[in-house]
Amino acid sequence: MTRGPLSVLVPALLNPHETMTAERYNAREAEPKWQQTWRERGIFRARNDDPRPKFFVMEMFPYPSGRIHIGHGRNYVMGDVLARYKRMQGFNVLHPMGWDSFGLPAENAAIERGIHPKAWTYENIASMKEQLQLLGLSLDWDREIATCDPSYYAEQQRIFLDFLEAGLAYRKESEVNWDPVDHTVLANEQVIEGRGWRSGAVVERRKLSQWFLRITDFAQELLDALDTLDRWPDRVRLMQRNWIGRSEGLEVLFELSRASAKASAVPTVKVYTTRPDTLFGAAFLALSPDHPLSARLAEGDARVAAFIAECKRGGTSAEVIETQEKLGYDTGLTVVHPLDETLTVPVYIANFVLMDYGTGAIFGCPAHDQRDLDFARKYGLPVKPVVLPPDTDPADFAIGTEAYDGEGTLFNSGFLDGMSIADAKEAVARRLERFRVEDQPQGTRRVNFRLRDWGISRQRYWGCPIPVIHCTTCGPVPVPRDQLPVQLPDDVTFDRPGNPLDRAKAWRDVPCPKCGAPARRETDTMDTFVDSSWYFLRYASDSAERPLDKQEVAHWLPVDQYIGGIEHAILHLLYSRFFTRALKACGRVDVTEPFAGLFTQGMIVHETYKDPAGRWLFPEEVKLLGDGKAVKIDTGEPVTVGPPEKMSKSKKNVVPPEVVADTYGVDCARWFMLSDTPPERDSEWTQAGIEGAWRFVQRVWRLVGDALELGAPAGTPFPTAFGKDALALRRAAHGLAATVADDIERLRFNVAVAHVHEFANAFGQAISAARASGTGEGLGVVLREAAEILVRVVGPMVPHLAEECWVALGHTGLAAEADWPKADPALLKRDTVTLPIQINGRKRDDIEVALDATPAEVEAAVLALETVQRALDGRPPKRIIVVPQRIVNVVA
RNA sequence: GCGGGCGUGGCGGAACUGGUAGACGCAGCGGACUCAAAAUCCGCCGUCCUCACGGAUAUGUCGGUUCGAGUCCGACCGCCCGCACCA
């Protein structure tokens, strides 16, 4: 399939008087040729014994969902530019690729289309690999991994056993989304508005015994070490900090009132609070529906049981729980106020109190917490303010519909009156630490984390088997290491809901390794986040015999630059940070932080198209007419153009890489993806944009051709002095090498592209000048020098074009192996600077001064300016601000 | 609901650490070349006032700090990402 500019390549249209410049660069021929050369020479293979300094760059590996579209390519191209640039800078670069190939979509394909997950996955990997290779990425394919391959997950099972021995893996009960019709556990994304996506049944929360990893053991360290990650985006560090959620607070024992204690047979309720200062404003106590006291009350009261059951409806996700209506149930119990025994506070069960956080019970202070206020208004509970905002009259201060959570002074609070919030917190803690209830201090200071242990059990087939055998007498028994890996059985069926492993008797039923009695394999598999929590280590240590060699890991790690989507800012990155530490604790590696540098790139978006019947159309089925109008090419029907959205198969707004490669060439696609939009933002794929990239690729080819035609032959010695044009071009070329190096180091590819454009303009002007007035005064030599610099500078971005130009310039080696051009510092310096002159903050003039002019000299020159004289009108200036080499502001 | 981010011409965006807002590209307009078209090259291009010189205005909205604010602070509006079983 061809269309667009390459299809208009008709030799008769070319000007016969021009030489090489007449030939267009033919990407379709050049690109496969150079890709083959790179492959044959193995120049992207990383060697562990290379003495040069290492640089490890990787992009987040893809899930093999099927065909890729050009949107997938963006982060790989970014990483590739950096990898190629670093090679030119003399680094031993590791740039690997792999497949995050376990997961739900493979099972859905099995259920919906009857394809085995394994076949589906490996077919997808094969076709996606072919497509990825089309992009001309400088990857070391020798280190390719697939997480679904036993050669990968065997080590993961060994790691699990290490964690188990170290006490970092354990079992406990936790809730899952249960589909009561399909009898299946659902992922959060399979719960749509509280119902199962296939059955439509209202989802329930059900408890299962599952495996957990003790990430909370590392909570403080994971938090503290964020400060050392200075090449991570601040926002990602902040998100992780908030996710870990360290808080300092107080655990307070509330004693039940005499009658309540008798009725419930429970003497106290323990509450965790970060606001003990507001204790005098307490209006209620709220228990989680999962709290032991809630359960006890439910035993004797059907209404309580019904309320708790009501709370269990809907999904388990925090989003669902936090957005659902806040409900409470008055248990009739009361507790005694810990600081004033004449006061009692009612006890509720509330659906928004989480058992996983704190103690599973809170006290509510409506005046100073919005959620508590909403709850109090709903159930008619008193709202007593206890923190008075600064400069407020207590008589005027009342809480309406908004809680006050700002600074202030305590009031209405007995012995706390007049204190600051911080002092009051301290005073309450001190007093309650002294009070004793049931032989314990009534208050205990407690650091708490929002972070919970990581539940890794999944009731699914297509995941890494958990290497454990359950025996009725011995309990869970680790699979002996010499029996690893526990491989997934291939002989499974997907004709019924639920986990096929539960039904795979031949695989499931095994003797207990300890006592030999009949036992069952663990049929849960691991969360796919486990697979991706250590794959970067496996890249570094790539032999199947020693899959996690300490020395090799130490040589390559940490990853110098990791590139991926912002959607992984918290979970994947936090789990990987934990995993690396846990492996270190087990003595497996000597690394602590896996990723020294992190970059989060934006997505590629594309307009969507719909025909009059409302069916989605592929971009190639549509002809754009401008002004947002479009028609269907084969029928001429009007097409509705929708706003740019993330490329997705379902909306057909995808562009396959092979279409771009066939039409414009991969370098155009690469150049376009790097242009214009900052890499961290979403970028829109447009026809006009790719055409612009095509013009640029041809322009570089033409500039190099012109320089070859007009410039001096290779090896011509430099003259001792250069003319004005020659010097200007030299400055521009050396400046380009320096500035693009800096742009790439900072991953500011769009700015790098702009700088290359700027240089191309200057280069074009120099060529015009050479055509008009000859190549004397060194211009001929500089034209060649400039071409040699330009080709190497664009090489990381448009590598195939660079190779073709490099050959044209007479080189026998590969551009991919050339050195990055070194900029001569003398050419980068300027001796004068243009200073803008502001009067009262508005630019009115500018002057050119020596670079090293003193402020006094500048001031004198500025005051002499006619513009300034006119503005001052004979009066002396009020003030003159001189910012050396930047600006002058005269305040009149 | 909670946490995080983004917002600059017709469009994508640039502006280093508070210092000339709009670099560079796209689209558009005008010109050169051509029998013609394509390609290429040159010029113009935020808005308003002005023949022009020049001036006013302008970075989502409103307010503040500063000699000076796209940049810092506060409030608001809109859009995007994550929320632990999608990956």
Per-residue pLDDT reduced to its tens digit, A189-220: 999 888 899 888 999 999 999 999 999 999 99
Measured CA to C1', the nucleotide nearest A757 is: B24
Asked if residue A1 has pLDDT above 70, the reply is no
Instruction: Please choose, from the candidates A135, A6, A1, A2, the residue with its C-alpha nearest in 3D space to the C-alpha of residue A694.
Output: A6
Query: What tokens does A598 get?
Result: 């992190």
> Does the pLDDT at position A624 exceed 60?
yes
* Distance between the alpha carbon (CA) of A841 and the C1' atom of B47, Å: 21
Q: What is the mean pLDDT of residues A521-532?
A: 96
Mean pLDDT of A496-524: 94
Nearest nucleotide over every DNA/RNA strand to the A61 CA, judged by C1': B87
Rounded Cα distance, A802 and A700, in Å? 9
pLDDT higher at A619 or A33: A33
| Paired residues of A355 in beta bridges | none
Percentage, residues of chain A above pLDDT 90: 64
Q: What is the pLDDT of residue A628?
A: 67
Q: What is the pLDDT of residues A656-713, one digit of tens each?
A: 888 888 889 999 999 999 998 999 988 888 888 899 999 999 999 999 999 999 999 9
Strand A440-441 with A475-478, pairing: unpaired
Ranked by mean pLDDT, which of A543-547, A573-577, A764-768 comes out on top?
A573-577
pLDDT, residue A517, reads 95
Confidence label for A462 from pLDDT (cuts 50, 70 and 90): very high
Local confidence band at A626 (pLDDT 50, 70, 90 cut-offs): low
pLDDT of res. A6: 33
Instruction: Give strand letter and number of the nucleotide nearest A458 (CA to C1').
Output: B85
Mean predicted confidence (pLDDT) in A438-457: 93
Check whether A458 has a pLDDT greater than 80: yes
The radius of gyration computed from the CA coordinates of chain A, to the nearest angstrom, equals 34
Q: What is the nearest nucleotide to A65, using C1' and CA?
A: B87
CA A644, C1' B76: Å apart? 27
| pLDDT(A11) > 50 | no
Question: Distance from residue A605 (CA) to nucleotide B14 (C1'), in Å?
Answer: 22
Spacing of A689 CA from B38 C1' in Å = 19
Nearest by Cα to A356 from A318, A327, A328: A318
Write down the pLDDT at residue A606: 86
For chain B, which bases have at least one atom within 7 A of a protein Cβ?
1-6, 12-16, 19-21, 23-27, 37-42, 55-56, 67-69, 80-87
User: CA A536 to CA A558: how far, in whole Å?
Assistant: 9
Task: Tell me the mean pLDDT in the region A578-598.
Answer: 96
Separation CA A686–CA A675 (nearest Å): 12
Predicted local distance difference test score (pLDDT) of residue A440: 92
pLDDT of A821 over the 90 cut: yes
- DSSP letter, residue A201: P
pLDDT of residue A840: 85
pLDDT band, very low/low/confident/very high, at A68 (cuts 50, 70, 90) = confident
pLDDT beyond 80 at A888: yes
Eight-class DSSP state of A381: -
Comparing every residue's Cα with the C1' atom of nucleotide B13, the nearest one is: A676
Closest nt by CA–C1' to A646: B80
CA of A805 to C1' of B85 (A): 52
| A455 nearest nucleotide via C1' and CA | B84
> Of all nucleotides in the shown strands, which has a C1' nearest the CA of A242?
B3
Residues linked to residue A883 through DSSP beta bridges, in sequence order: A887
Q: What is the mean pLDDT of residues A763-779?
A: 88
Using an 8 Å Cβ cutoff, are A694 and A616 in contact? no
Report the percent of chain A where pLDDT is more than 70: 97
| φ, ψ at A843 (rounded to 5°) | -70, 125
**Residue whose CA is minimally distant from B27 C1':** A688
Poorest-confidence range of A54-63, A231-240, A797-806? A231-240
- Taking only the tens place, the pLDDT of each residue in A774-787 is 888 889 999 999 99
Q: How far is Cα A338 from Cα A344, in angstroms, rounded to an integer?
A: 9
Task: Please write the tens of the pLDDT for every residue from A709-752.
Answer: 999 998 899 998 898 889 999 999 999 999 999 999 999 999 99
The CA–C1' separation of A98 and B70, in angstroms, is 42
Question: Once rounded to an integer, what is the mean pLDDT over residues A13-38?
Answer: 69
Q: What is the pLDDT of residues A125-136, one digit of tens each?
A: 999 999 999 999
- Give the CA A683 to C1' B22 distance in Å: 20
For residue A666, the model assigns a pLDDT of 94
Angle at A704 between CA A699 and CA A707, to 5 degrees: 125
**pLDDT exceeds cutoff 60 at A256:** yes
- What spatial distance separates the first Cα and last Cα of chain A, rounded to whole Å? 68
**What is the spatial distance, in angstroms and rounded to an integer, between the CA atom of A422 and the C1' atom of B73?**
24
Predicted pLDDT at A637: 85
**Residue A530 predicted with pLDDT over 70:** yes
pLDDT given at position A275? 92
pLDDT tens per residue across span A380-419? 999 999 998 887 888 888 888 888 888 889 999 999 999 9
State the Cα–Cα distance between residues A545 and A535, nearest whole angstrom: 16
> Whole-number mean pLDDT of chain A?
90
Question: Å from A768 (CA) to B41 (C1')?
Answer: 10
* pLDDT surpasses 70 at A2: no
